[in-house]
Structure 1
Amino acid sequence: MTRTAQRRTDPPATRPDEEFARLSEPYRRELLAYCYRMLGSIHDAEDLVQEIYLRAWRGYGGFEERSSLRTWLYRIATRACLKALEGKSHRPLPSGLGGPSDDPGDPPGPRLPEVSWLQPAPDTLFGVDPAVVVEARQTMRLAFIAALQHLPGRQRAVLILRDVLAWRAVEVADLLGTTTAAVNSALQRARAQLSQIAPTEDGIAEPADPDLRALLDRYAAAFENADIAALMGVLTDDAMWEMPPIPTWYAGREAVGRFLAARIVAAGDYRMVSASINGQPAFGSYARDHDGVHRPHALQVLTVTTTGIARIVAFLDADLFPLCGLPPTADATG
């Protein structure tokens, strides 16, 4: 339907800014997901989407409908993302910077404030329809987002548009102002690099829902009860533990267990509140403060397989809790 036909059904008093808001708002969440995949930061993505909509609103009077409004918005978004990526290093997880710690008994290394780390993103920001979340979960997983950050900006855009959003090569070429051959070449290089960076995360099989919930309940209970044996029992042999912004990380059930045993000392030290982050099960972990109140400590995002929990990324950033709809204290949950 053309904009002329759309206007015929509008009330006579409809203004261009009202028309723009009505027609463009349905694309906001998918554009946020696109910008997040491109940038690896939900805060940067939210800011950029605001800027994209402002640019689009200002230019709407000159929109000539040579493409759909959705395509036009993605063109503005892609240019904005590529501009934002200029001169910036990629956003890593600790495992992307070096090997695991040799000794879990040693204190972890200092935080690296100069590193811009990959950020998690709550599912609620991208829609509340469970079917939509399930459909997109593989392309929102932390490992996939982290792997994307290793690609050059244009390759990143091509891969997302082609493999995630299922655009045709000719559509991507038109959006980027290049040829179909160039798009196909960039896609081939991006796929090859991605397969080298994160080959083990492809097609992770999670337990069926009842088994998954039981496994997560056991994990949370073990954490809250300081039961290290039970905690190790839900981990896979090759489990990983990461905790940005600290670069130190641990690989293997024994190493992770030794690290946690020195920090989860008494039952009640931690409380766990469930969440859903990047299409993955997650917990807000709350540490008991000196006054007995459990306050935000880490946002734990779990990779779960049919054999157990294979990876925990514990983001040590209390500012993420309100973004994810988590309460200011675990005691507030009752």
Structure 2
Amino acid sequence: MTHAFPFSAIVGQDQMKLAMILTAIDPKLGGVLVFGDRGTGKSTAVRALAALLPPISAVEGCPVQSATRAACPDWVELPENAEIHEYPTPVVDLPLGATEDRVTGALDIERALVNGEKAFQPGLLAQANRGYLYIDEVNLLEDHLVDLLLDVAQTGENVVEREGLSIRHPARFVLVGSGNPEEGELRPQLLDRFGLSVEVRSPDDIDQRVEVVQRRDAFEMQPDKFLKKWHREDTRVRGAILTARDILPDIKVRKRELRDCAELCIALGSDGLRGELTLLRACRALAAYEGAASVTRRHIRRIAPIALAHRLRRDPMDEAGSVSRVRRALDEVLA
């Protein structure tokens, strides 16, 4: 059995880990975009977080991991004695070369040829339902797949109507994309769909780099021993996430903090209202994770850079990076 690297054992990358924790608390945030160097633990963090989370209950044999038999799509053929079991939270990779049929699903050619039946072969979106869809090099994704993902992200449903098939199934997942901005830009429509974004860099501190290598080597040489060492801390993080999910609806947001969010987005020239909504939800999730009763300006200061930096228009007169612009606006608005 292949084990995931413990989430708590990941060295540094605090913003990336925080963003992923917040999406685990509130999947409606819209996922995480991670831009930066290769080999900085992006895919490791996704799989580690999924392994950290409690298993999901799903009907045996259901290709979309439905929680109950009644929730299974009508095209799914379940055995009469299908039971509900617990399964690990799904993590599905969407490769750059994937065809649309592979992503959405298509006619089952084998059954069509052998039995003359029209049957649906589920795709990656079905496998990712109730879990994570991870796209490496998301900025290089083909335009037709970007359009498809935008539709599914908006509706939470995958619709396939071709080859005589008319299929619908739920496709609700946390979208995690990673890439190197030097290799190409992400389309603004898809960029705006990500709730949070973080930039990661290879550590330039020697001690930190040594710690990364030591932990990875220890994990690969003696995985069981390493997992046991970090089990308590992972259990603590899991407990905090589950508690935060429970209290999330009770977190209060005062009008002052709402005005702060609106003023900040206006100061930054953020298009639409998605910035305010995402900032509000992420702040609420952070407050729940910390056990706070309400959202405060401290939460806004911490979350604004990862909720708003990727939504800014380019300013040719301002050479500062987007995160620096957000921090500068924070100082002005929350002074």
TM-score range, shorter chain: under 0.3
Give me the TM-score of the superposition, normalised by structure 1: 0.23
Give me the TM-score of the superposition, normalised by structure 2: 0.23
Structure possessing the higher relative contact order (Cα contacts under 8 Å, 6 or more residues apart): 2
Q: Which has the higher Rg, Structure 1 or Structure 2?
A: 1
